[in-house]
């Protein structure tokens, strides 16, 4: 995968970023105190951009270099005439090295210092400089109380480097500052882009602190963020539908016909040449009534499905499949078909049961579990999946091969060479049918020639982007079918 190409940004572990810091200090000769000054200035400048009328800041400072960044922010704010208070969690006289120098800089500039335990009136913009990449384990009591005070203040919050309480590598954050904006330095931390950490970070602003890219040489990213866009070849004037593949959607057991219809329509709206739906006979008329362009076939057994498995260029399996014998028969047959597969929803739950396709691994399938389905596939709890989303997606990819797309905040796409993260979408997507829509989009992109991996990350982006555009009219009550016309707009 390209390093930092326009579409991919490298995301690192805390250890890798600390190595960059030391590289910058020891090999490039940029002092730690200069880096800290630049870090503090980067936070202050972002604060002014976002809240230009801000007249007061309250800086929560920890006892390490993250705290040092906070003292620099406070000193610069005081120099610019703002009221700046530092609520310290570790006594200023206990600070060492660069952080101590930063604290003295703030003191000289007339910054007010007070113990955080005596702060009962946080005001202005809050600056979170309690913990950065040095955080580990459980938040100590005073830090937990401070995080709670920040989160319940109702005031704007900007975080230095990483919201305090977020684990930089995984995004695990049982209790962490919820920031409007995070200014992260020198290397992007993977934990800011997925899971709870991604939700706490708010808008992420990266500042390299003037450190040359060579400090990152030889340091393996944990993942890459996909920067967005869908890349399909332009269509020649004499295009015909066979150029754009055939999707077969298999799903829609009794009572779940809608899921399969949404997936089929999504593939059509994504630009597949032909879309066929193999579903329970009782859903055929409803499908034709809603989207006559989809060829709906009623199938009652695996036998009846067999002849439909030859033609498609890609098979999307799982929307509304159910976990009854009918669904198991469909999975048993389709799972061995020639065509590449997108496997979702109950097809994943049947796989997790181990009775159907036991031990099957394919390089050409895309599995698209949400955390609950991922937990069943790995035999663990959803909480453990949330604890380390990158690790969970990689474990699933090792177990099943192919591409694994783990849904949730900051979609993680694991493949044999690494992980991509797509940070698009919003809470309006927490409604039935959204997963079926994604399955159809990914299948539609594969039908048009994208690889399973390209279809997974570009499909996840299209899905999130469509939801973000529809959310402009409000998130609550957003339906999967509301996104269908917008998918078409984006794919354009
Ligand atoms: N190193 C550099 O040149 C630069 C660093 N920058 C900033 O520095 C932090 C990393 O600083 P570090 O001192 O390594 O760690 P932290 O300040 O993040 O925290 C260490 C501090 O926190 C205490 N601590 C650890 N775990 C917990 C916990 N669970 N509960 C409470 N307290 C905890 C620990 O005892 C230490 O006292 C980096 O993020 C940047 O913000 C500059 O910005 C760039 C140059
Ligand atoms: K912080």
Digit-coded pLDDT (tens) for 322-335: 999 999 999 999 99
DSSP-derived pairing of the beta strands 112-115 and 223-226: unpaired
The answer on pLDDT for 254 being more than 90 is yes
Q: What percent of the chain has pLDDT over 70?
A: 99
Rounded to an integer, the average pLDDT of 136-144 is 97
Pocket test for ligand 1, best of 66, 71, 130, 160 (most atoms within 8 A of CB): 66
Model pLDDT, residue 1 = 46
d(CA 235, CA 147): 53
pTM attached to this predicted model: 0.95
The answer on pLDDT for 153 being more than 70 is yes
Contact by Cβ (8 Å): 301, 327: no
Count other Cβ atoms within 10 Å, centred on residue 53.
Answer: 5
C-alpha 119 – ligand 1 centre gap (Å): 22
pLDDT tens figures, 81-90: 999 999 999 9
* pLDDT level of residue 468 (50, 70, 90 thresholds): very high
Lowest mean pLDDT among 2-6, 16-20, 108-112, 366-370: 2-6
Token readout for 98 is: 């660069």
Q: For residue 420, report the phi and psi dihedrals to the nearest 5 degrees.
A: -115, 150
Helix (H) / strand (E) element for 362: namely none
pLDDT tens figures, 304-351: 999 999 999 999 999 999 999 999 999 999 999 999 999 999 999 999
CA of residue 458 relative to chain centroid, distance? 13
Token readout for 86 is: 């530092």
Rounded to an integer, the average pLDDT of 7-24 is 95
Residue 135 marked in a binding site: yes
pLDDT tens figures, 431-442: 889 999 999 999
Residues with CB under 6 A from ligand 1: 21, 25, 32, 35-36, 39, 62-67, 69, 131-140, 143, 160-161, 185
Residue 62 marked in a binding site: no
Question: Can you tell me the ipTM of this complex?
Answer: 0.97
Rounded to an integer, the average pLDDT of 227-233 is 92
Give the chain's mean pLDDT.
96
- Among 120, 50, 65, 132, which residue's Cα sits nearest to residue 98? 65
Rounded to an integer, the average pLDDT of 477-491 is 95
Token readout for 439 is: 């399955």
Torsion-angle region of residue 449: left (phi > 0), alpha (psi -120 to 50) or beta? left
Q: Is 392 in a helix, a strand, or coil?
A: helix
The residues that bridge with 317 in the sheet, in sequence order, are: 250, 343
C-alpha 71 – ligand 2 centre gap (Å): 12
Contact by Cβ (8 Å): 426, 418: no
Compute the chain's Rg from CA coordinates: 25
Residue 346 marked in a binding site: no
Q: Which ligand is nearest to the CA of 60?
A: 2
Q: Which ligand is nearest to the CA of 97?
A: 1
d(CA 389, CA 395): 10
The answer on pLDDT for 65 being more than 50 is yes
432 versus 167: which is more confidently predicted? Answer: 167
Rounded to an integer, the average pLDDT of 10-32 is 94
C-alpha 266 – ligand 2 centre gap (Å): 41
d(CA 492, CA 73): 45
Ligand 1, atom nearest to 25 Cα:
3
Contact by Cβ (8 Å): 187, 16: yes
d(CA 379, CA 363): 22
Residue 409 marked in a binding site: yes
Rounded to an integer, the average pLDDT of 173-194 is 97
Model pLDDT, residue 7 = 87
Residue 194 marked in a binding site: no
Model pLDDT, residue 36 = 98
Count other Cβ atoms within 10 Å, centred on residue 311.
Answer: 11
Model pLDDT, residue 492 = 87
Q: Please give the torsion angle defined by the CA atoms of residues 103, 109, 115 and 116, in that order, rounded to the nearest 10 degrees.
A: -90
Please list, in sequence order, all residues whose beta carbon lies within 8 angstroms of the beta carbon of residue 88, skipping any fewer than 6 positions away.
Answer: 61, 67, 113, 114, 115, 116
DSSP-derived pairing of the beta strands 274-279 and 246-250: parallel
Model pLDDT, residue 277 = 98
pLDDT tens figures, 202-214: 999 999 999 999 9
Pocket test for ligand 1, best of 29, 94, 132, 206 (most atoms within 8 A of CB): 132
Between the alpha carbon of residue 435 and those of residues 260, 261, 277, 463, the distances in Å are 11, 12, 17, 9
Whose Cα sits closest to atom 21 in ligand 1? 64
The answer on pLDDT for 450 being more than 70 is yes
Model pLDDT, residue 472 = 93
Contact by Cβ (8 Å): 164, 130: yes
């Amino acid at each position: 995968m390209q390093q930092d190409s326009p579409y991919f940004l490298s995301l690192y572990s805390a250890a890798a970023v600390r190595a960059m810091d030391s590289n910058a200090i020891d090999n490039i000769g940029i002092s730690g105190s200069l880096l800290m000054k630049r870090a503090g200035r980067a936070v202050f400048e972002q604060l002014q951009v976002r809240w230009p009328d801000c007249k007061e800041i309250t800086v929560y400072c920890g006892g390490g270099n993250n705290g040092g960044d906070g003292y620099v922010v406070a000193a610069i704010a005081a120099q610019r005439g703002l009221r700046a208070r530092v609520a310290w969690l570790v006594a200023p006289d206990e600070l060492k090295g660069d952080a101590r120098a930063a604290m003295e800089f703030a003191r000289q500039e007339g910054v007010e210092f007070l113990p955080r335990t005596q702060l009962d009136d946080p005001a202005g913009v809050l600056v979170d400089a309690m913990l950065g990449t040095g955080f580990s384990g459980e938040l100590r009591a005073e830090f937990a109380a401070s995080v709670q005070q920040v989160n319940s203040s109702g005031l704007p919050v900007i975080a230095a480097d990483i919201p305090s309480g977020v684990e930089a590598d995984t995004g695990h954050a049982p209790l962490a500052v919820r920031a409007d904006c995070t200014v992260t330095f020198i290397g992007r931390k993977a934990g800011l882009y997925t899971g709870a950490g991604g939700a706490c970070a708010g808008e992420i602003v990266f500042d390299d602190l003037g450190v040359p890219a060579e400090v990152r040489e030889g340091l393996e990213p944990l993942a890459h963020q996909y920067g967005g866009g869908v890349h399909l070849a332009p269509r020649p004037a004499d295009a015909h539908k066979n150029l754009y593949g055939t999707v077969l959607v298999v799903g829609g057991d009794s009572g779940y016909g809608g899921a399969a219809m949404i997936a089929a329509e999504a593939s059509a709206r994504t630009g597949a040449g032909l879309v066929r739906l193999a579903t329970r006979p009782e859903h055929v008329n409803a499908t034709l009534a809603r989207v006559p362009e989809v060829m709906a076939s009623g199938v009652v057994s695996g036998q009846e499905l067999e002849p439909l498995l030859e033609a498609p260029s890609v098979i999307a399996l799982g929307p509304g499949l159910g976990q009854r014998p009918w669904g198991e028969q469909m999975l048993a047959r389709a799972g061995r078909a020639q065509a590449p597969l997108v496997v979702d929803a109950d097809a994943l739950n049947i796989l997790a049961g181990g009775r159907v396709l036991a031990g099957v691994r394919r390089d050409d399938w895309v599995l698209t579990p949400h955390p609950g389905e991922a937990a069943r596939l790995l035999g663990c709890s959803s909480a453990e999946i949330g604890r380390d989303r990158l690790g969970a997606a990689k474990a699933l990819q090792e177990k099943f091969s192919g591409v694994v797309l783990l849904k949730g905040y900051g979609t993680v796409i694991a493949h044999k060479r690494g992980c991509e993260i797509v940070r698009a979408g919003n809470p309006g997507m927490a409604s039935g049918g959204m997963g079926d829509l994604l399955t159809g989009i990914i299948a539609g992109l594969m039908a048009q020639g994208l690889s399973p991996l390209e279809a997974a990350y570009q499909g996840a982006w299209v899905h999130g982007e469509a939801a973000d555009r529809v959310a402009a009219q409000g998130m609550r009550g957003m339906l999967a079918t509301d996104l269908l016309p917008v998918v078409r707009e984006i794919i354009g």
